[in-house]
Structure 1
Amino acid sequence: MKLILSLTIFLTYLLIILGGLVHNTGSALSCPDWPLCYGELVNTTSQGSFLEQMHRVIASLIGFFSMGVFIKCRSYKKSHPRLYRFSLATFMLVLFQGGLGLSTFLYKLPTLISTTHLAFSLIFFCCLLSLKNEWKLIFEGNFLSSDDKTALQKTYNPMIRDGIFFSISIVAIQVFLGAVMRHSGAGNICGLGTSIFQCFERETTQILYWSLNPKVQINLVHRYVALLAFVVVVWNGMRVFLMAMRTNTLSKDLRVSILLHSASLIFLIILQAISGAIVSKSNISVFPTTFHLASACLIIWNLWSLRNRVRNLELNLFGEVRHTFVSDVLEITKLRLGTLVVITIAVGIFAAPGNINFFKAILSLVLMTMVVCAATTLNCYIERDVDKNMERTKNRALPSGRMKPGVALFIGYSLLAIALPLLVIFVNWPTMILSLIAAVLYLFAYTPMKLKSEAALFVGAIPGAIPPVMGWTTVTGKIDAMSVALFSILFIWQIPHFLAIAMYHAKDYDAANIKVYPNKIGFSKSKRDIFLYTIILVLVSLSPYWIGFSSVTYRNIASVCGISFLILSSFGFFIKDHDAVLSWARTYFWASIIYLPLLLISLIFFN
């Protein structure tokens, strides 16, 4: 199993590099048909067709290996659920990547699809690394070389993990900017001036520090973030290296692994900076550009591996991942929930007709994310006493006492005070007003109503459905039929989604006196309601096609996804055992998490 995982990781790295080579050599559309090339399984008539076929073959191998790993890990679903979840995630991601790869071919390399394809390749890559790490953690055991665990517990600083997190974040942003730059044609617009802060514009031979030209802006921001990434990665790499040097109680294998990863990380970031300078001077020639991508992927590989090893160390020392102020802030801002909300906002931005400046779109996303994080933080503050009564929430930062309530209150209101005025200045009034309405409804209508009436479900679905409309108004500045369709899809989706959550967390909600329908009407009627609302969701999901906004391709994808989702919802009628019903509800919940992004992404790509 470990060998298969190692091979899949290596092939994924090779596939990412080969994808860069295919793009850099202009080979991306060398084969006019799919999955064959000029009707042949292997075509060597040109370098381009050979490279593109190699890319397809390796992608297929990764798909088969991922399916095999998932099948193997299904047997550990109950004994090692984390291992199973990683295997499921990799399998779903590889299917999604296959669809993106096909879309890239069919729609002739649009920047959005190509950039998304690379981004999800890196997410898949990191997921594979975590899957392998989880396998080793379960089946290979201890990481300490002596029984002096107490001494190490006293000297260990969990802030090390925060440093790795910030390094991963800044490198991910840099890779994303590089992908946008490469796929949009912004990469060859600037040469290297006398410093990294200068753009030698090749068309005008001017030296620029900034420009109104969006491509110059992307190029220069990529350079500025590169400098920041260099400083952050070197600093945190040195911290991890010195920690491993000073710690004698680690096992030899773990200590050597951490030392090698941190040392190679510093070497790679220096190499990355040099290769970036060569790319700027060489006018985006093939070898330097591909090497630049390869070293960036190695940096992510090292950072993610370090993150896994430090996490393993904490689990071994303390039996849990240690909390820090940064992790607590990320917890109260509910980053996972925020990610889904940001996706729905992005759908509104990318689906809306008309053009928007790249950095205005990014700034809009950041500001609206700040509003979402403010609302979730203030929600945690309001519900801190309620959370103490629920098993799944009692160890959070506020109910456990790790964070003072005043700190959360300050963070929440500060985010609102910064984001709302900036939305007016840099975006528009309708988007700010919608953001404010969503926050107010969530905090002052839905949150208190949860303790009084089951109808809070429908009230809470309103602020949950506003984000895509915010994305739409960011571009258009107005609410129209399509924005109403987006609102309707999100509003209806939330009802069966939350009913499923309320079923398998019914005891927790009852203990906290939170009013939910499964506890009032029973599980049988809740299963009926999930099925009925899923029918409505499938019909509403077709509304973009009915109003003439989306294509037949979107209609077909929405129909297939909807019918599959509806079939799953109907299974509840045939399950009588209580534990089996809870398992079905959890499966429906995760299926809804998969269904919504698929639907919304297809709405962007196939409108």
Structure 2
Amino acid sequence: MKKMLNKYLVITNSYIDLMKPNILIMVLITTILGYFLGSDAKILWSNLTWMLIGTTFSAGGAGVLNQYLERDQDKIMNRTCNRPIPSGKISPKNALIFGIITVIVGTVILLVKTNLLTGFLSLLTAFMYVLIYTPMKRVTWLNTSLGSIPGALPPVGGWAAATNSIDSGAWILFAILYLWQHPHFFAIAWMCKDDYEKAGFKMLPVIEPDGNRTIRQILWHLSLLFPISLLPVLIGMNGNIYLYGVMIITLYYFLSALPMVYEKSYKNASKILQASILYLPALMIIIIIDKGMR
């Protein structure tokens, strides 16, 4: 009985791992952010709950299909060789079926329980992530910019779930998330460039090993993030607490990249990654406090 239970837990955990839980958490955070701002903090809890359930299935299913398509590359890379498919815990066929069903279930939940617009955005996000971003990783370093589009759509989906529309505030959130992702993923690409090269992925640090273009891209997107992150104040969506808070965290994010200007190293790239990971939850906390004080 104990062995059967352990086997069941291993299989369950393997399917959860297929859904890329770390990325999924970020997706849910940004989706909640979009919902919170779109609803002007007037939350309908049943609507929010169904939105999160649907998004979990849809985004998680996209992660599964991404791993299915990259299963041969994942075998080669040290950072991914223990994933469920290359490690043999889940067969490619079962992963494909699970991924397709999960995306469909998530999309249907959003279509039925939120609105058509949210369901469409969810399906569009999964389509772009799986069928555009994933194959483009083997074609061009611009895959990061292409992949940042579906990566920036979750807050738009959250906004749509709350309002059944896409307003200027939603597009500002999209722009913030789009710009935020570039330093985040360029830092990861630098840290894992040897793995990516072995797998044949055309990441920017792979095609230009000296790192000069990589740090220029990081600084360029961080420079754009600063003024874009202030736009919610200009349109009256947020107030002074947001203004000062977002200036601090965006400046911190920018400063985290400066050491890499002088030394292109794993350690300095990890500083950028750490700052990027802190940025999103900090942004969410700032927005909640700002809304609560207005």
Return the TM-score normalized by structure 2. Answer: 0.93
**C-alpha separation in 2, matches of 1:564 and 1:419:** 36
Superposed, which structure 2 residues align to 1:478-557 within 5 Å?
A: 478-521=165-208, 522-557=210-245
User: Quick check: 1:474 aligned with 2:161?
Assistant: yes
- For residues 382-421 of structure 1, the aligned pairs below 5 Å read 382-421=69-108
- CA displacement, residues 398-426 of structure 1 (integer Å, 9 cap, x when unaligned): 11222111111111111122222221221
Q: 1:365 aligns with which of 52, 56, 61?
A: 52
Structure 2: which 5+ runs fail to align? none
Q: Quick one: which of 332, 337, 342 aligns to 2:23?
A: 337
CA distance in 1, matches of 2:129, 2:154: 12
Paired residues of 2:257 and 2:271 also in contact (CA < 8 A): no
User: What amino acid is the match of 2:251?
Assistant: I
After superposition, residues 290-329 of structure 1 pair within 5 angstroms as: 324-329=10-15
Is the contact between residue 219 and residue 254 of structure 2 (CA under 8 Å) also seen in structure 1? yes
Counterparts of 1:390 and 1:524, CA distance in 2: 24
State the 1:473 CA deviation. 0.6
Partner of 1:567: 255
1:426 and 2:141 matched:
no
Alignment of 1:202-217 (within 5 A): none
Alpha-carbon offset, residue 158 of structure 1? 8.2
Q: CA 1:503 to 1:425, structure 2 compared with 1: closer, same or farther past 3 Å?
A: same
Contact 2:148–2:182 at 8 Å: present in 1 too? yes
Matches within 5 A, 1:106-121: none
1:490 partner letter:
L
Match of 2:128 in 1: 441
Q: How does 1:32-181 map to 2 (within 5 A)?
A: 157=3, 159-160=5-6
What per-residue deviation string (whole Å, max 9, x for no partner) do you get for residues 235-261 of structure 1?
xxxxxxxxxxxxxxxxxxxxxxxxxxx
Rounded Cα–Cα distance in structure 1 between residues aligned with 2:73 and 2:213: 27
SS in 2 for 1:596: helix
Aligned partner letter, 1:339: I
The structure with the largest alpha-carbon Rg is 1
Measured on the aligned residues, the alpha-carbon RMSD in Å equals: 1.8
Task: Give the Cα–Cα distance (whole angstroms) in 2 for the partners of residues 438 and 604 of structure 1.
Answer: 26
In 1, Cα distance between equivalents of 2:168 and 2:259: 34
Give the direction of change, closer, same or farther, for the CA distance of 1:162–1:565 in structure 2 (3 Å limit).
farther
Question: SS at 1:400's partner residue?
Answer: coil
| Distance in 2 (alpha carbons) for counterparts of 1:417 and 1:567 | 42
- Contact 1:492–1:536 (CA<8 Å) still a contact in 2? yes
CA distance in 2, matches of 1:591, 1:161: 38
SS at 2:86 equivalent: helix
Q: Distance in 2 between matches of 1:334 and 1:455?
A: 22
State the secondary structure of the residue aligned to 1:597. helix
Equivalences for 1:269-284 in 2 at 5 Å? none
- Counterpart amino acid of residue 445 in structure 1: I
1:603 equivalent to 2:287? Answer yes
1:41-91 Cα shifts (integer Å, max 9, x gaps): xxxxxxxxxxxxxxxxxxxxxxxxxxxxxxxxxxxxxxxxxxxxxxxxxxx
1:387–1:553 CA distance, 2 compared to 1 (3 A):
same
Secondary structure of the equivalent of 1:398? coil
Question: Structure 2 CA distance, aligned partners of 1:495 and 1:403?
Answer: 31
Question: In the TM superposition, what is the alpha-carbon distance from 1:589 to its structure 2 partner?
Answer: 0.4
Pairwise CA distance, 1:434: 0.6
Shift of 1:327: 1.4
State the alpha-carbon separation in 2 of the partners of residues 537 and 473 from structure 1: 23
- SS in structure 1 at match of 2:85: helix
Deviations 1:126-168 (A, max 9, x none): xxxxxxxxxxxxxxxxxxxxxxxxxxxxx974845977xxxxx
Q: Distance in 2 between matches of 1:534 and 1:452?
A: 25
**8 Å CA contact 2:58, 2:104 repeated in 1:** no
How many Å separate the matches in 2 of 1:540 and 1:600? 16
Shift in Å at residue 478 of structure 1?
0.5
- 1:453 paired with 2:137, answer no
- Answer whether contact 1:367 1:422 (CA < 8 A) is retained: yes
Partner residue in 2 for 1:22: none
What are structure 1's unaligned runs of at least 5 residues? Answer: 1-154, 164-323
Three-state SS of the structure 2 residue aligned to 1:380 is helix
Corresponding residue SS for 1:419: helix
How many pairs align? 289
TM-score where L is the length of structure 1: 0.46
Q: Bigger relative contact order, structure 1 or 2, given CA contacts below 8 A and separation 6+?
A: 2
Partner of 1:380: 67
CA distance, structure 1, for counterparts of residue 108 and residue 7 of structure 2? 34
Q: Is the 8 A contact 2:50 2:109 kept in 1?
A: no
Q: Which of residues 258, 271, 274 is equivalent to 1:590? A: 274
- Provide the rounded CA distance (Å) in 1 between the counterparts of 2:289 and 2:100: 36
Q: Deviations over 1:471-507 (max 9, x none)?
A: 0010111011100000000000011111100001000
- Is the contact made by 1:439 and 1:463 (CA closer than 8 Å) also made in structure 2? yes
Given the alignment, which residue of 30, 34, 46 partners 1:348? 34
Give every structure 1 segment of 4 or more consecutive aligned residues whose post-TM-superposition deviation is greater than 6 Å: none
